[in-house]
Structure 1
Amino acid sequence: MSEHRQITTEAGTFDALGAGPAGGRPVLLLHGFPQAASAWEHQVDVLGHAGLRAIAFDQRGYSPSMRPDDVADYQVDALVGDVLAVADAVDMPEFDLVGHDLGAVVAWHLAAAHPERVRTLTAVSAPHPAALAAALREDEDQRQRSQHVPVLKERSAERRLLADNGAALRQLFEWRVPESDVTECVARLSEPGAMTAALNWFRAERWNVVPDPVTVPTMYVWGGEDVAVGSTAALSCGAWVSGLYRFELVEDASHWVPQEAPDLVAGLLLDHLR
């Protein structure tokens, strides 16, 4: 079973879940919006049971001890730096990297910029940023799917998402995620400053910066019913990976693949890491 812990780094202190032996092959898992490390709890447990050393941590803005006020502190370079700082703090000079949603965006950037640190990459839901950027330019369907992003940058976003016991926040999950997980998410983001910190990921500048192609072995997992990422971006993702590439379609899953199909995702991870 995974254990809760805190990881103190030069950047700050992060809450985390971990499982597996100290000498196991290291794996870092990154959550997206509006979730936290708990979204990976099942996969952390499975990886740990298989003898790997798996750690998922609440990223910048989600860990109460690491919640800066300045929007500029949520630029992608800072988020990548946090992952490297956590890896250094837990003695992971090289690691397998897994990310979902905005956590996958951070993972794409990190793998492109620091291939010497990343043994393999697994991205879930969010494709390579260049594939998404091209789809936004060329595909009206993707532009429609991405209409939520400007809304999340508005000043009123906090109030709108948390009103009526987080009704709008709950709707983001499309009734695809266990209710207990959704309730925990609403409670966590209702804490003072938490929702603003989470939304600062969208408000920060330079999220439109496109990383280089990724050279490490990469698996991209996409839910066929994802309302945020369409087939144009998903199917062109491999063009931005120059290393070994594997595409996995989970036909009946939405954007929330790790929690909709936890065993399937855990199995894909184990197979990819082998």
Structure 2
Amino acid sequence: MRSLTAVSVPHLGAFAEALRTDPVQQEASTYMDVFRQPAPGPENMMLASGPPKLPGVDPAKCAEYFRRLSRPGALTGVLNWYRANDFEGYEQRVAVPTLFIASTKDPMVAPSGVRATKNRVTGPYRLENLDGLGHFIPEEAPDLTSRLLLRHLASVPS
């Protein structure tokens, strides 16, 4: 791997630490309790409620995501990541040039995990903490996300 770009979610070791120690992150992650329930409970609940309304995301995109996740097994595949993840074993540091695109109004990620990510990277590291955006950065600011990503990739030695 020559570089890493993370969007919205901190290094999983930093996230796990915040999940264990930060009441703000613990509260922000209560949705995971629902996601981790056995299939098909959460899937049925989510699909029965129709396309979600996600802050900052075009309703047409939400409808398209919903359509795709309504395909048999698609949403189960997504939720299985939460079901299988105990947030342990993420101690490895990142040694390649890393860009972390975070946001200041993310309801899912506490600032503590964002700040702690720098301690999990030994290679060149840059945090772009975008003011006023939520959790869905690529959908909320696609042009800015692309510019940051392209600038980061151009800075990585070949």
By the TM > 0.5 criterion, same fold? yes
Q: Please, which of 244, 251, 254 is the counterpart of residue 131 of structure 2?
A: 251
Contact 2:104 2:134 in 1 (8 A): yes
Query: Are residues 1:235 and 2:83 paired?
Result: no
Contact 2:106 2:135 in 1 (8 A): yes
CA–CA separation in structure 2 for the residues paired with 1:205 and 1:227: 20
Matches within 5 A, 1:201-212: 201-204=81-84, 207-212=87-92
Q: Please, which of 165, 170, 189 is the counterpart of residue 50 of structure 2?
A: 165
Q: Could you tell me the percent identity over the aligned residues? A: 38
CA–CA separation in structure 2 for the residues paired with 1:190 and 1:225: 28
Matches within 5 A, 1:31-180: 118-155=1-38, 156-166=41-51, 170-171=52-53, 173-174=54-55, 176-180=56-60
Q: Give the unaligned 5+ runs of structure 2.
A: none
Question: What amino acid maps onto 2:135 in structure 1?
Answer: H
Equivalenced residue count is 152
Deviations 1:115-142 (A, max 9, x none): xxx1111101111111111111221001
What's the secondary structure of 1:272's corresponding residue? helix
Instruction: Give the root-mean-square deviation of aligned CA atoms.
Output: 1.4
Deviation of the 1:207 alpha carbon: 4.7
Deviation of the 1:209 alpha carbon: 2.5
Deviation of the 1:231 alpha carbon: 0.5
Q: Give the unaligned 5+ runs of structure 1.
A: 1-117
Higher share of residues assigned helix: 2
Contact 2:12 2:87 in 1 (8 A): no
Deviation of the 1:223 alpha carbon: 1.1
Question: What amino acid maps onto 2:48 in structure 1?
Answer: A
Question: What amino acid maps onto 1:254 in structure 2?
Answer: G
CA–CA separation in structure 2 for the residues paired with 1:139 and 1:121: 26
What's the secondary structure of 2:2's corresponding residue? strand
What's the secondary structure of 2:138's corresponding residue? helix
CA–CA separation in structure 2 for the residues paired with 1:228 and 1:206: 17
Deviation of the 1:255 alpha carbon: 0.5
Change over 3 Å in CA distance of 1:147–1:271 after alignment to 2? same
Deviation of the 1:205 alpha carbon: 5.0
CA–CA separation in structure 1 for the residues paired with 2:77 and 2:16: 24
Partner of 2:74: 194
CA–CA separation in structure 2 for the residues paired with 1:149 and 1:265: 26
Question: What amino acid maps onto 2:34 in structure 1?
Answer: V
Q: What is the TM-score with the length of structure 2 in the denominator? A: 0.90
Q: Please, which of 31, 55, 62 is the counterpart of residue 182 of structure 1?
A: 62
Higher share of residues assigned strand: 1
Partner of 1:267: 147
> Which protein has greater RCO, CA pairs closer than 8 Å, 6+ apart?
2
CA–CA separation in structure 2 for the residues paired with 1:208 and 1:130: 8
What's the secondary structure of 1:208's corresponding residue? coil
